[in-house]
Chain A
Amino acid sequence: MGILSANDLKIVTERLKRKPNSVEAGIFSVMWSEHCSYRTSRPFLSKIFTDSPRKLAGPGENAGALDIGDGYFVAFKMESHNHPSAIEPYQGAATGIGGILRDIFTMGARPVASTDPLRFGHMNDPHSRHLLEEVVRGVSDYGNSVGVPTLCGETQFDDSYGINCLVNVFALGIGRTDEIIKGRASGTGNLVLYFGSKTGRDGVDGAFFASDELTEESKKNRPSVQIANPFQEKKVIEACMEIARKHLVVAMQDMGAAGLTSSSVEMAERGNVGISMDLSKVPLRQNDVTHYEMMLSETQERMLAIVEPGRLKEITAVLKRHEVDWAVIGEVIDEPALKLFDGDGESVAVIPLESLQYDVPPAGTKREKRDLETSQADLSQISVPSVFKKLMASDLINSKHWIYEQYDSRVGADTVRPPGNGFSVLRVMKTKKALSITNLGLEDWVQIEPYNGGFNTVVRSALEHYLGGFTPIGITDCLNYGNPEKPHILEQFAASVRGMSDAAELLSVPIISGNVSLYNENEKGAVKPLLQVGMVGLIEDIEDISYPEFQKSGSRLYLLELSDGVNSPTVASKVLFDNDQGAVPRIDQNALKEFISNMEKILPLVSSARMISRGGLALALFKMCLDNGLAFEIPKMESGDLFKEYGAAMLFEIDPSLEKKFLSLTATLSPKHIGSVTVGDDIIINGEKMKKTELIELYSDSFGRNFL
């Protein structure tokens, strides 16, 4: 049960000048929960970089929205569903997808893509396997049913996620700029229209429970996990698309965390008006739902809209056609307050919106920097072919097709590049444009050096878009950390968010939406801090996309570094020595700026290009010849350098006839010649031969073996 702390109760009593009744106390407790109020993270989030001339909606709206020209906008956002997924993985993941999709279509944008960055304990642990299988099934059942393709994603493993798995969900929608809907109530006398599922007891106090550590006791919170109904969502999506097209609402918001309470309060707050609701009108699934439960229920697939009385007939006709239930449950009032009453006029709650202001004491304010051991494993003596094979077989590297083949990645007929190899691409129907999507989180790096880890995550993501020919236009983040009341956790959070924001500002890519998930912690400690960046890029002409795959035998290969990678933490040292330490690479900001400003001249000379990411240069080279008849030869390279990981380093394939021009344009960045593209099945490194097909077999088949 959500209850107010003694201190919060004191503040409420002072602000109301009386003691709250139980419904009011419940409303305060969820609205001030970490999940809804961001009471601890708000001071840090208020400073992040959000500027963009494209911006139509930023943080604080249901989702961020950017103008992409030709009369269209994109809306996107990322959220976490960590706590519910840890105790009820199937429903937790499914409702996570449902919730993030509603944030998108509530703005009048048709959801056209979702992605899932996931973190679990290692797959030799049966509980982690169970969590993964059920989470994937949840995403699959929900995403496939509603007809939204599930794209790139990112799945990684670490012991710290064994109990607290992390389930982040990203969604993107496309709408017409003249049909965008915001969550801003206005117009005294306008109606409050409820539609979608009937309210039950599921998910009561969900937001409250998502703001706590997981303990043995948490399993008792299973009733706090919501139940998914993708069929209902699909009907609601189609109804909302028609509502947007016909401009039938003044404002709209889905009932997400803290359900009816947060949707009504937030729409009223944004519009500086009040809302009065008759709780006897709320559609119920069962008769004995109390007022308290009605206000705090998190039953899924419910929407709240503000409608002019004159449009009611039209909108309810739309809802009827789509077989969606509805009820008028209240109206907009002048006085900025939430007023609830029961059918006969009896008052249930009266809360001036001012009293709900979120300037309540945060859970933690103390910060403490912790320096971690940074002695990195020595990779100089290893045998290259044997490490290559170990990496291919490792879950930290191998192909996750076992996961993404359970997701319909092509429904909607817009998927140009499905999941499996770097960024995903989606076309924008009726235009020549396309969008790129990446997901990246570097938890090992953020753990060691939060600021630099956050900075690197954004730079690496942005370069991936640039290399594909896209311009990154916006970021949504999902920030997953432990208990912020612990000073070193709050420091991790604050510093990494600052790093992310500084990089976003340097590259002029605004952070337009996001989500914070704290208290990802159990008796054994906190999770590795996951700063997950979802980045979206835009290209004007779909024909100009460049994919990170080798084009032609005989090409010369160059490595261009914009950061140092001395002693960086690497996947190779994790796999070989179980060592996740090292020094986080520092990005050379001047070199980065120089590269970006010359990119328009450099990239047309390049046959293909790829960011160096997990697994270092070795993996980048391998992935560039996954799906073609090509291979590569690296005549001489230190084994450590092959598996080293960089903040910002790129691999370029250059046609020999363009080599001179490329070198003169990039002279100040000193690219290194490392080898060449070959044809056939032989990968040759330092004279040692490996069969590509053998590596591909390991890469493709290893992950699925966990589930035989």
Chain B
Amino acid sequence: MAKIERAQKLFLKSLKEKFQGQDVQSEKTQFYNFNGVRQSPRKREFMEATKAIEAKRGISMYDPERCHLGGIPMGQRQLMTYEVSGTGTFVEGDDLHFVNNSAMQQFWDDIRRTVIVGMDMAHATLQKRLGKEVTPETINEYLHTLNHAMPGAAVVQEHMVETHPGLVDDCYVKVFTGDDELADDIEPQFLLDIEKLFPADQAEELKAEVGNSMYQAIHIPTIVSRTCDGGTTSRWSAMQIGMSFIAAYRMCAGEAAVADLSFAAKHAGVVQMGTILPARRARGPNEPGGIKFGLFSDIIQANRKYPNDPAKAALEVVGAGTMLFDQIWLGSYMSGGVGFTQYATAAYTDNILDEFTYYGMDYLKDKYGFDYTQPGQNMLKPTQDVVNDLATEVSLNAMEQYEQFPTMMEDHFGGSQRAGVMAAACGLTCSISTGNSNAGLNGWYLSMLLHKDAWSRLGFFGYDLQDQCGSANSLSMEPDRGLMGELRGPNYPNYAMNVGHQGEYAAIVGGAHYGRGDAYCYAPLVKITFADPSLKFNFAEPRKEFAKGAIREFEPAGERSLIISAKN
């Protein structure tokens, strides 16, 4: 290890904006004179909104000057704004809670309402069992029917209720295949064109994985998955698929052969985004706890848009992953309230993790000749010595930056925030350069041990428990003790309880493949499905989308004004 110099620190602009008029390297400042919560425009807005609510409902609500610390409101220190990393957009911290951010909600909605269903078995059953002809024309007709039915319309029965299209306009189905000839015959409105959506080398790799098969990328209405749950997605989709096949191929609704088709078309080729969870976590499929890290890295599309910057691609996974796994999964499904947002946002605001990660990239170039802008070239062998060297240098640099810029330490005021960010930079540096997700995880855990001994502190009780025993499981493949990174997930035994880890782990896994220049990490079908430009959320730019949500410029699905009274 040998320290290198970086001329332009990515976090400086944020710090100067956050701490205006102050020396960002100062060691002392003023407190107790910021007018409490009223220093924040968003808190003032909350207080103003509360007056109207209380007058209307007659029940007290938001009252920070009475209820916080028995009359001492928060804001005895400066309440900071945050720059969403990589966007240049400054937002209020409150706007990054998912309740206040429609983009964050839609991000999760778009995942939860998605299911992929293979068509090959259905087509084989139609042809061999039912004697139906299947051609590109019949497939197009079926897709017309399905895009009528999937949002909630009838195709076979008389006198049925149906859903208002204005409420379910985010629901549709497209298909994709690795067979160029077949793809050419599919109506463009229904086709996810791999050739057009991906860089040439990625497209070839993905088409080879898909082969001549055809898959449906299905997105049920946001409003349905919100009212029900992730387990609904495949059920809702299955019902409409079955009805659409019956209608499009003029089948009998009652004969036994339709049961064969039903299984083949509705269930046999289903790919869920998340696996079902055990009873103690009590969630069905397509809920956050069941999303494997490899699959999650394929949902995020930044490596498709930025194939020559695996660091940026991985940092986008960090932002998306911490939002989903920390803020929504652990922060609300498994716990509750508002605290988890602070852990998550540290990893995707103020360009701090970005700076630490690009320091790692520069160090790789300087010491090992690895150029991260040329994925797959001069990859490092994932030895313990290499991991130790990379993780040590990146950790030392990160700690020194916090020390040299006390305002940055003040920004990341909690130990868990700092620990997650520093270890993530180490993990990404190790995984991007070696192409090995477990080497990345191993780098994470060395960072934790170094951090703990340098500063004699780390995170909170449970956080430390996980990270102090991590070295021993990071390279293990034994059941209940280890697994390759791609197959680990939020419910992996040692990862299930702690905020500040899961999004970063997903990025470390993704980084291994982005560093290699792979088209996908774990699930090529998922990679293709989320490349869809018709989705409400742009999965190639999750941090920009979250920033749009924060400044109230994002347009989500789930509109209900059509069916509720006008307030004004």
A interacts with B: no
**Which B residues lie at the A interface, using CB under 8 A?**
none
